[in-house]
Structure 1
């Protein structure tokens, strides 16, 4: 079944895949985790961030968040 796509604005794609239309299965080839402070990982055409003090203390108890073994 055809898909109707409206206006799209893509600013940046780094090593990723962008699909438009019919897509049955998309499986990730890699997975990463990033921990950042308040407002530091924002993206868009215009970003205004007003922060006070930002502290990021992260405790990660997961050994594997998204397994990618076998995604061919």
Structure 2
């Protein structure tokens, strides 16, 4: 295993086993990656969450905040 492969493996493990929930979004706001911690908190699998829009996981107030404050920053 090369040093680069080991670094990638370490990053994958750190992302998946982090004590906080992580997710990665695509440009369209859909979830492309989610760690096991967040899956556990939400009671859903990675397959169930991948492809969903983040705002679909939020309540009305959270969805409005996301669309008006956070999403524009992600689009920049």
**TM-score of the two chains, using structure 1 as the length reference:** 0.22
| Structure with the greater alpha carbon radius of gyration | 1
Instruction: Name the structure with the higher strand share.
Output: 2
**TM-score of the two chains, using structure 2 as the length reference:** 0.21
Instruction: Name the structure with the higher helix share.
Output: 2
